[in-house]
């Protein structure tokens, strides 16, 4: 795998493996993380698992519960909204930086992602669109060359991944977010940092509104007799 500008490649294998399992949804919120089970599953030592869980606790993905060990940390709606507000500022910065630095080859790559996103939405491929969504945000972070923002955003994205997945699966959401993503791509590809930043911030404002909408819809469903 080619490492793009700013992409993290230095995480210890144990940390990377357990983080990936949490981010992908293999491990769900509040699920217990038993050292012996993780050691066997990932073929790593108990000491490496213990160290990884400590690192992931510092990242906010795992929490320690007294007398019960470690578990995947559940992120509330209020915290997911706070995370999105921070992302709004940092992803706006990254989009602006990417617009200044993007190369001709990288423009082709971003336009290809945009084309694939259009195709996924037209074909009703929600999972494919969700993956392309993640790929686009990752590439914008990488292309920005803003190492500090990239590291913070990776942690925040991992913490809120379950909420992001619920949004991607929410009926009608891809039709709303597609033009928002295409506007980000357009701003970057035309080397317009102001437009790129505003498009990124507008998208995150939309995400915050959608988080509230999805939560209210879920509450209404649960309240039905």
- Given a cut of 60, whether residue 11 has pLDDT beyond it is no
- Given a cut of 90, whether residue 122 has pLDDT beyond it is yes
Q: What CATH number did the domain enclosing 142 receive?
A: 1.20.120.530
Helix 46-59 and helix 13-23: axis angle, to 10°? 60
Give percent of the chain with pLDDT exceeding 70: 91
Q: What CATH number did the domain enclosing 26 receive?
A: 1.10.10.10
Tokens of 15: 């940390």
Q: Are residues 61 and 137 in the same domain?
A: no
Q: Are residues 62 and 124 in the same domain?
A: no
18-22, 61-65, 174-178, 181-185: which is most confident: 181-185
The pLDDT of residue 170: 78
Q: Are residues 117 and 185 in the same domain?
A: yes
* 164, 168, 169, 174: CA torsion to nearest 10: 160
Q: Are residues 22 and 131 in the same domain?
A: no
- Given a cut of 50, whether residue 3 has pLDDT beyond it is no
* 90, 92, 96, 99: CA torsion to nearest 10: 110
Q: Are residues 89 and 166 in the same domain?
A: yes
Tokens of 106: 């990288």
The pLDDT of residue 162: 72
The pLDDT of residue 13: 85
Find the mean pLDDT for residues 93-112.
Answer: 98
Helix 173-189 and helix 161-169: axis angle, to 10°? 110
Q: Are residues 53 and 127 in the same domain?
A: no
Cα–Cα distance list, 44 to 51, 71, 74, 195, 201 (Å): 11, 18, 25, 47, 41
Tokens of 39: 């050691």
Query: 32 — phi, psi (to 5°)?
Result: -70, 145
Better-predicted residue by pLDDT, 171 or 118: 118
Beta partners for residue 64, in sequence order = 70
The range of the structural domain enclosing residue 53 comes to 13-72
Tokens of 77: 């709606």
The pLDDT of residue 65: 87
Better-predicted residue by pLDDT, 109 or 11: 109
Structure confidence at residue 7 as a pLDDT band (50, 70, 90):
very low
Structure confidence at residue 41 as a pLDDT band (50, 70, 90):
very high
Task: Give the residue from 80, 195, 93, 202 showing the smallest Cα distance to 140.
Answer: 93
- Given a cut of 60, whether residue 90 has pLDDT beyond it is yes
Find the mean pLDDT for residues 104-120.
Answer: 98
Reported as type and span, the H/E element at residue 77 is helix 77-101
Task: Give the residue from 187, 101, 189 showing the smallest Cα distance to 146.
Answer: 101
Better-predicted residue by pLDDT, 7 or 97: 97
Q: Are residues 67 and 88 in the same domain?
A: no
The pLDDT of residue 197: 98
Distance between CA atoms of 52 and 59, rounded to whole angstroms? 10
- Given a cut of 70, whether residue 224 has pLDDT beyond it is no
């Amino acid at each position: 795998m080619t490492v793009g500008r700013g992409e993290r490649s230095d995480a210890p294998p144990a940390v990377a493996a357990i983080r990936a399992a949490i981010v992908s949804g293999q491990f769900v919120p509040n699920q217990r993380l038993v050292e012996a089970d993780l050691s066997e599953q990932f073929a790593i030592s108990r000491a490496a698992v213990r160290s990884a869980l400590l690192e992931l606790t510092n990242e906010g993905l795992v929490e320690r519960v007294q007398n019960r060990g470690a578990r995947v940390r559940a992120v509330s709606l209020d915290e997911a909204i706070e995370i999105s507000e921070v992302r709004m500022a940092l992803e706006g910065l990254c989009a602006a930086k990417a617009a200044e630095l993007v190369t001709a080859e990288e423009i082709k790559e971003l336009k290809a992602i945009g084309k694939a996103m259009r195709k996924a939405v037209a074909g009703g491929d929600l999972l494919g669109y969700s993956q392309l969504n993640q790929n686009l945000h990752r590439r914008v972070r990488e292309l920005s060359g803003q190492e500090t923002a990239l590291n913070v955003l990776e942690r925040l994205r991992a913490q809120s991944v379950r909420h992001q997945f619920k949004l991607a699966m929410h009926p009608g959401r891809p039709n709303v977010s597609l033009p928002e993503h295409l506007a980000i791509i357009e701003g970057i590809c035309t080397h317009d940092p102001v437009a790129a930043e505003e498009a990124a911030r507008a998208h995150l404002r939309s995400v915050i509104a959608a988080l509230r909408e999805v939560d209210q819809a879920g509450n209404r469903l649960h309240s039905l007799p």
